[in-house]
Amino acid sequence: MTRMAGKNVLITGASRGMGRAHAVRLAEEGADVLAIDLPGQESEADLAETVRLVRELGRRAVAGTADTRDFAAVTAAVQAGVRELGPLDTIVANAGVCDNPGPSWTIDDDVWDRSIDVNVTGTWHTIKAGVAEMNSSGGSIVVVGSTAAIKAVPGASHYSAAKHAITGLAKTLANELGAQSIRVNTVHPGAVATPMTINPATFARLRPDLENPTEADVAEVLARRMLLPVPWVEPIDVSNAVLFLASDESRYVTGLQLVVDAGQTQKVA
């Protein structure tokens, strides 16, 4: 499997969930991976596991720690990884945060700022640091957005605003970087079977009618929102979309918003 053979990939938020899935899937297709996530004992342990999984596939992997809100830290982590792997061919700006605090007028400033800082500024920092280290022949940037960038999400306007913002950023970058043969696209997952969806707080929010809702209880609610008969997609489904946009199979695709949501954004009734 060689769709990413000879390519070096930077992935943020790589310690778990979709980030880890992207790292493993791209490595399966021949990529070497620079995996970046937050400093801290738990995060770094998870990041080490991502690195182990990539190396188990016979690919090179380098771990870097940085809070994407800190441009100097991101730059240092990227530069250290590039010294070991070589220039980047792909950037996957995956790191993000999501919560549902309530109606827009009730959101605390700190909660709002965190969403914008991590989801928007962090994505900008990742791309800004990564582009400086990209292969001179061009490459691909994949920004992980959300269906919250496509339709309203009552109770999470800070998240929806952030995801709309990075979609606009990606469209602009596609125009700015096209002459350098760098493509920029976004992937927009709906509900994904990761801890961001599969957790007690989300269960309680989606099933307030139950005292202790289970995964099965929540699956019933989410399945009704989809065109396809599933409650969520799997991380591999999003990673396959990332793979397509990272590989040469999409060599003339740029400025695209690729939605992976089982039809959630298209359902009309």
Distance CA 257, CA 108 (A): 30
Total residues belonging to the chain:
269
Instruction: List, in sequence order, the alpha helices (H) in the chain.
Output: 17-28, 41-56, 71-85, 109-116, 122-131, 157-177, 200-206, 215-223, 235-246
Instruction: List, in sequence order, the alpha helices (H) in 57-141.
Output: 71-85, 109-116, 122-131
User: For residues 102 and 155, is the Cβ–Cβ distance under 8 A?
Assistant: yes
Backbone angles phi, psi at 181, to 5 degrees: 60, 30
Q: Which of 69, 75, 15, 11 is nearest to 40 (CA)?
A: 15
The two three-digit tokens of residue 74, written as one number: 């991101």
Q: Which of 12, 93, 3 is nearest to 50 (CA)?
A: 12
Q: Is 159 a catalytic residue?
A: yes
Catalytic position from the list 9, 10, 124, 159: 159
Q: Which of 81, 161, 156 is nearest to 120 (CA)?
A: 161
**Which residue's structure tokens are 């989300």?**
202
Q: Which residues are part of the catalytic machinery?
A: 159
